[in-house]
Structure 1
Amino acid sequence: MTTMKGTGGASPSRKITVLSHVKYEHLVAGISGGVASTLILHPLDLIKIRFAVNDGRTPAPQYQGLRNAMATIFRQEGARGLYRGVTPNVWGSGSAWGFYFLFYNTIKTWIQGGNTKKPLGPTLHMVAAAQAGILTLVMTNPIWVVKTRLCLQYSDMVRTRLPESKRYLGMMDALNKIYHNEGIRGLYRGFVPGIFGVSHGAIQFMTYEEMKNTYNQYRMVPIDTKLGSMEYLTFAACSKLMAAALTYPYQVVRARLQDQHHDYKGSWDCVCRTWRYEGVRGFYKGLVPYLLHVTPNICLVFLIYEKFTESS
C-alpha cells in the first residue's frame, strides 16, 4: 500500500490501493457475457476439444470434418451429446470472464492512478492482462478440467472401457472423483500450459485496447470514449484471431493433459509425443472449430461487457 502526502500539508493524505479501484460491475458484466456466449456456442467448443485430443492412438470417435462431427455426435448421442460438459463450461466461462474483467480493469485502473483517460501503451496493457490471467487461472483451472473430461465421455460404449473412477455423472460427481482419486494435482492438470496460455489473453487484450485507443485518438476524442457495436465487434474479432494464430498449440497440450483417456507424464512428455507421432499438424488439431467457436464467442462477450459497463 502506498501513501501519498500533499505538499506543504495543503491537502490531506490519501491512500491508494489496488482494492480502491475494484468495480464489481466488471465482474457482473464478464459473467453475463461468458454465460450467454457459452450457452449459444458450446457444441463448437465440445467438437474442438474432441479434435484436439484425438491422436489416433487412444479409443475415440473418428470424425471427417466439422459437419461430420456434428452429425455423428447428434446421431450417436442425441442433442444432449452436443451439450456434454455445458454445466462446468457455463460455470467456468462465467467465472473466468467475470474474474478476468474484474482483475484486469482493477489492475489497469491502479496503474493509471485512477485516471481512465491516461494511455498505458502495449507493454503495460500486456502486464495487466497477464496478471489478471494468472489470477483467473488459479481460481478456475479445476472447472476447466471437469469441463474437458465431461466433453470427452463420448458414447456409452466408449465410456464403459474406463474404470468407474473416470466415469462421471455430472459436474459435482466429476469434481468429487477427481479430487478423491487424483488429489489437488488432478484438479490442476493442464495448469502449466495454461500459464503459457496467459500470453493468449495478454496479446488479445493488448491488441483490443490498442485498437480502441488508436481509433479514438484518430477521432481526436478521449481514449475512454465509448464506441458503437460494430467497432467493438470488429476490434474483438481481430484481437482474438491474432491471439489464436500465435498461441493455439497450448490449447491442444492442455486439453490432452486433462483428458481421462490419455496418460502423459507432464507437459513436456505431451509435447514430445505429439511432435513424434503427429508433427506440427498435431498441435493445430481442432483449430477450425476453435476459430468458429471463439470468434463469435469473444464478440458476444466483449459487446455484452462494453454495453453493460456503459449503462452502469
Structure 2
Amino acid sequence: MSSLVNKPTPPKKELKLADHVKYEHLIAGTTAGVTSTLILHPMDVVKIRFAVNDGIHSTPKYSGIWNAFSTIYRMEGFRGLYRGVTPNVWGAGASWGLYFLFYNSIKNFIQGGNVNTPLGPGYHLLAASQSGLVTLFVTNPIWVVKTRLCLQVGENQKYNGTIDCLSKIYKSEGIVGYYRGILPGVFGVSHGAVQFMVYEEIKNQYQYFYNKPISSKLGTLEYLLFSAVSKIVAVITTYPYQVIRARLQNQLYSYDGAVDCVKRTWKFEGWRGFYKGMGTNLLRVTPATMITFVTYENISHMLLKYNKNV
C-alpha cells in the first residue's frame, strides 16, 4: 500500500493596489489629454471669460460665442486665443494621465485583477471619486495658473508666462494661492465620477447586449458616442461648481470663500449665473472628451496588447 504525501499548497499571494498599476494608462491618458487640449484650447479661453463675467466687476463682455472669438482675435490676435495654453497642456496631460492611471488601478483592484468582472454604478463612482480627489490635489496649482493667464486682458498683464505666474503667486499668496478654488474643485470631483460611471455603464450594457467580454475593444464610433453622452450628462448635473471655481481663482475678483461666491452669484444673477458659459463649455468639452476617450482607448489597448505579447 503506497503512502500518499500531500504537498502543501503555497499560500495565495494577496494582491496590493500597487500590483494593479499599469503605466500604459498613464501614457495613453497623457497623450489623449494633450491632443484634445491643443486642438480645442481657444474654446476654453472663451468659456472662462464667460464664466467670470459676474455683472459686477469690469471685465470684457461678449454678446455671444462667435462675438467672443472674433473680439479676442481682433483685439489680441491669434495669441489671445491661446492664452494659458502651456499650463493647460500641462494640466490636461497630467490630469488625464493620472486620472486614468488611478482610476484603472483602483477599478482593477476592486475587480481582483480580472478586468472582465462587472462592477455596478456604485463601484464606478467610488473608483472615479477616489482617483479624482488625488488628481485634483496634484494638479490644482496648474489650473490656477491657467485660469489667471487666460484672463489677462489689456492692462491686466500681470504674468509673463507659466513659471512667472507660479513664482508670483507663491511670493504674494504663498502655498494657499495654488489651492484657490479647491473647495468647489472637491465638489467637482463628482463631475468626473458621474462621467465615468455613465461611460462605463453604457459600455458594459453594450458589451452584454452583444455577448462580449466587457474589456473588449470597441469601434471608434462607439467610443465617440458613449463619451459624448457621458460628458453631456456630467456637465448638466455638475456645471455650477466650475463657475464658482473660476471666479475664486480669478485674481481680479474678491470673494470671502466659496460660500460667499455662491451667495453673491445667486443675489446678483440668480440661477442663470451658475450656468454662464455652459453652452460654450458643452461645445468645447463634448468634442474634447470624444477626442480624449477615442485617443486613450486606442492607445491603451495597443500598449496593453503590445506589452502582453512581449
| Global fold match (TM > 0.5) | yes
User: What aligned pairs does 1:52-131 form with structure 2 within 5 A after superposition?
Assistant: 52-131=51-130
Amino acid at match of 2:65: L
Q: Which residue of 1 aligns with 2:279?
A: 288
Q: Which residue of 2 aligns with 1:310?
A: 301
User: What aligned pairs does 1:185-204 form with structure 2 within 5 A after superposition?
Assistant: 185-204=176-195
**Deviation string, structure 1 residues 14-61 (Cα, Å, up to 9, x no partner):** 131000010001001010000000000000001000000001211211
Q: Which residue of 2 aligns with 1:217?
A: 208
**Deviation string, structure 1 residues 109-143 (Cα, Å, up to 9, x no partner):** 00000000100110000000000000000000000
Secondary structure, aligned partner of 2:14: strand
Q: Distance in 2 between matches of 1:183 and 1:118?
A: 46
**Deviation string, structure 1 residues 268-304 (Cα, Å, up to 9, x no partner):** 0000000000001100000111001000000011000
Q: CA deviation at 1:107?
A: 0.3
The gaps in structure 1 that reach 5 residues or longer are: 1-7, 161-166
Q: Which residue of 2 aligns with 1:178?
A: 169
Q: Which residue of 2 aligns with 1:163?
A: none
Give % identity.
59
The gaps in structure 2 that reach 5 residues or longer are: 1-6, 304-310
Q: Distance in 2 between matches of 1:96 and 1:33?
A: 11
Q: CA deviation at 1:225?
A: 1.1
Q: Distance in 2 between matches of 1:57 and 1:125?
A: 40
**Deviation string, structure 1 residues 242-285 (Cα, Å, up to 9, x no partner):** 00000000000000000011011100000000000000110000
Q: CA deviation at 1:171?
A: 0.3
Amino acid at match of 1:22: V
Q: Which residue of 2 aligns with 1:4?
A: none
Q: CA deviation at 1:9?
A: 4.0
Q: Is 1:239 equivalent to 2:215 in the alignment?
A: no
Secondary structure, aligned partner of 1:59: coil
Q: Distance in 1 between matches of 2:8 and 2:239?
A: 55
Amino acid at match of 1:134: L
Q: Is 1:133 equivalent to 2:166 in the alignment?
A: no
**Deviation string, structure 1 residues 186-221 (Cα, Å, up to 9, x no partner):** 100000000000000000000000000000000011
Q: Distance in 2 between matches of 1:225 and 1:24?
A: 19
Q: Which residue of 1 aligns with 2:4?
A: none
Aligned-CA RMSD value: 0.9
Q: CA deviation at 1:222?
A: 1.0
Q: Distance in 2 between matches of 1:284 and 1:308?
A: 34
Secondary structure, aligned partner of 2:62: coil
Which of 263, 278, 286 in structure 1 is aligned with 2:269? 278
Q: CA deviation at 1:13?
A: 3.6
Q: CA deviation at 1:10?
A: 1.5
Q: Which residue of 1 aligns with 2:306?
A: none
TM normalised by structure 1 equals 0.94
Q: Which residue of 2 aligns with 1:206?
A: 197
Q: Distance in 1 between matches of 2:181 and 2:8?
A: 53
Q: Which residue of 1 aligns with 2:146?
A: 147
Segments of 4+ moved more than 2 angstroms: none
